[in-house]
Amino acid sequence: MTNSLDNLRVENDGLVCGEVGRWAETKHRLISLYDELFATGMKNKWEQRVYIDLYGGSGHSQIRGTEIRIKGSPVLALTLPCPFDKYIFCEESEPLRSALKIRGERIAPHADITYIPGSCDDKIEEILRAIPRASASNRVLSLCLVDPFDFGIKFETIRKLSSGFVDFLVLLAVGMDANRNYDHYVDGDHPKIDQALGNKDWRERWKNFSGGRK
Ligand SMILES: C[S@@+](CC[C@H](N)C(=O)[O-])C[C@H]1O[C@@H](n2cnc3c(N)ncnc32)[C@H](O)[C@@H]1O
C-alpha cells in the first residue's frame, strides 16, 4: 500500500523555503499520518472537512546543512489520498506566503484554498469567516494545526476557533525558548506564557510542581 508517508521529500523547485532541523522529517511524517487518518476516517461522517494551518510556512522546508527538502504541513495536507474539502492557510511572512500560494496552485490547482496574510492571532475573525457555514444538512469538521516556532501561540486564538467543531493538533517545540527564557518567564512578568495558556496563575502551580528546579 502506498500513502502520503512514502513521498515526504521534494525536489528544489526554486522557490523560497524555511530551514528546519533533522528532527523535522519525523515531525512531518507524524503530521502527515495524523492528517491522513483524520481526512480518510471522517470523509463519510461529515459533509465538509476543513484543514486550517495557523502557522503555514512556505510549503517546503530545507533540512539545515543539507540539500534535502521536505514537504511542509500545508503541502502534506494538500497531497493526501482523500484531500480535505477546504483549506485555510495563515502565514505572517509575505515571501513565505507567496511561495506557499504558488506551490498550492501547482500541486492542487482545483483545491479550495483561502490564504490569510498576517498573524493568526490578529486575523482570527478572518480565519473564522473562511470556515464554511455549518447547518444540520452541512456539518463541518475542521482539523487545525498549530505549529509555532516558540511559545508564540495565544490561547485566546484557540478558544475563538473552538466555537465550531475543531480538532486541534498543537506542536509546541518550545524547549529552546523555555530554557533560554526560563527566568524571564517564571520569575519575571513577561506575558508570553500567560497568553499561551490563557491564565496568569500558572507560575505558582509550576513552582509547586517543579520544586523550584529548572
Ligand atoms: C514552525 S514554522 C511552521 C512550519 C509549517 N507548519 C511547516 O510544516 O512547514 C512557523 C511559521 O509560522 C510563521 N509565523 C510566526 N508567527 C506567526 C503568526 N503569529 N501567525 C501566522 N504565522 C506565523 C513563521 O513565519 C513560520 O513560517
Each residue's pLDDT tens digit, 6-25: 689 999 999 999 999 999 99
Ligand 1 pocket residue status of 57, Cβ below 6 Å: yes
Is-contact 182 175, C-beta < 8 A? no
Q: Measuring CA to CA, which residue among 23, 199, 209, 54 is closest to residue 121?
A: 54
| pLDDT tens, position by position, 150-200 | 888 899 999 999 999 999 999 987 777 777 788 888 887 788 888 888 888
Beta strands in the chain (DSSP E): 9-10, 18-20, 48-53, 60-63, 69-71, 86-91, 113-117, 140-146, 166-170
CA of 148 to the centre of ligand 1 (A): 5
In whole angstroms, give the CA distance from residue 170 to residue 152.
12
CB atoms under 10 Å from CB of 176, counted, come to 10
Please give the pLDDT value at position 6: 62
Mean pLDDT along residues 95-118: 98
> Please, which residues bridge with residue 117 across strands?
91
Mean pLDDT along residues 111-140: 98
Ligand 1 pocket residue status of 98, Cβ below 6 Å: no
**Was domain 4-147+154-173 assigned CATH 3.40.50.150?**
yes
Atom of ligand 1 nearest to the CA of 61: 9
Q: Where in the chain is the domain with CATH 3.40.50.150?
A: 4-147+154-173
Strand order in the sheet with 140-146: 113-117, 86-91, 48-53, 140-146, 166-170
Ligand 1 pocket residue status of 75, Cβ below 6 Å: no
> How many percent of the chain have pLDDT more than 70?
96
Please give the pLDDT value at position 2: 45
Ligand 1 pocket residue status of 193, Cβ below 6 Å: no
SS3 113: strand
